[in-house]
Amino acid sequence: MEKLLAYLRLTRPANIVTAISDIWAGFAIAGATAFLLAGQTEEYLAPFLWLTLATIGLYGGGVAFNDVFDAELDKVERPERPIPSGQVPLGRAILLSLSLLLMGIIAGFKVSYWSGELAVFVAAFAVLYDAWGKHQRIFGPINMGLCRSANLLLGMSVIPESIGDYWYVALIPLAYISAITMISRGEVHGQNKIALQAGFGLYLLILVSILTISLRENGMGAWQVLPLIVLFGYMILPPLWKAMQREEPALIGKAVKSGVIALIVMNAALAAAFAGIWIGLAILPLLPISLWLAKKFAVT
């Protein structure tokens, strides 16, 4: 059991749940959730399950590869992690990472060529970030954000035409994950004020953008999405504000953790903006699952 838990720690299960919310939100934005609920299960249930499996493999493999590339650094900064602690041999960690990424790509192609190509893109950019991108001051956050944007588009790819209509929605996770990535750079040593301030500004811009999209799609009915937007803001702004005041690694770590988990609420708000409040609320149960897993496994 301890060995199994060590392998699970490599994949950061709480984060995988947030990736599932990307797929579910993309599914809703594309309009496929409405068709599924209308009874078109033969056409949309299998893609829903395949795409959910795809993101589990892609995200799990991507973050596991992060530990592979950080193995030497973690010996100094995070010796408790599975690889430097000796719980998971490096070779097996590589095999796990490759297997999960391959599973994600195959699951994507089971839906369509478009989905498969997006899965390949996510896998490639995840490994690029792990190996090189995270060390780049400007490109690194963009690199990580592109992975999440493509993951949202992966959910939308169930109806490929929807990508052409609503591609701009993918700019929101791009900006959001870029902000979290910038913020996280002070997680070990602190003293990251400029990045923290930039992240706070991006957070505000994202909140306004989601509200604007909701108004565009729903008009006066946008008030239904407002509670989700408020909850999203409540989860991300106070922890980051505290981190900005003191610039301590522990507070920055909490801000990053809150930001990652809050992705579920952000996706619920986006889904509600396009498919109605009940669809958004249907995504929210992923939040307590992710929070519970976050108590058992590292998020950052």
Residue with tokens 């892609």: 58
What is the predicted pLDDT for the residue at 169?
98
Taking a C-beta distance cutoff of 8 angstroms, is the pair 170, 122 a contact? no
What is the predicted pLDDT for the residue at 220?
67
What is the predicted pLDDT for the residue at 77?
87
* pTM score of the predicted model: 0.95
Per-residue pLDDT for the chain (300 aa), expressed as one digit of tens each?
888 999 999 999 999 999 999 999 999 999 999 999 999 999 999 999 999 999 999 999 999 999 999 999 999 989 999 999 999 999 999 999 999 999 999 999 999 999 999 999 999 999 999 999 999 988 998 999 999 999 999 999 999 999 999 999 999 999 999 999 888 876 655 667 888 999 999 999 999 999 999 999 988 678 889 999 999 999 999 999 999 998 888 899 899 999 999 999 999 999 999 999 999 999 999 999 999 999 999 887
Give the separation between CA 210 and CA 264, rounded to whole angstroms: 14
What is the predicted pLDDT for the residue at 38?
93
What is the predicted pLDDT for the residue at 219?
81
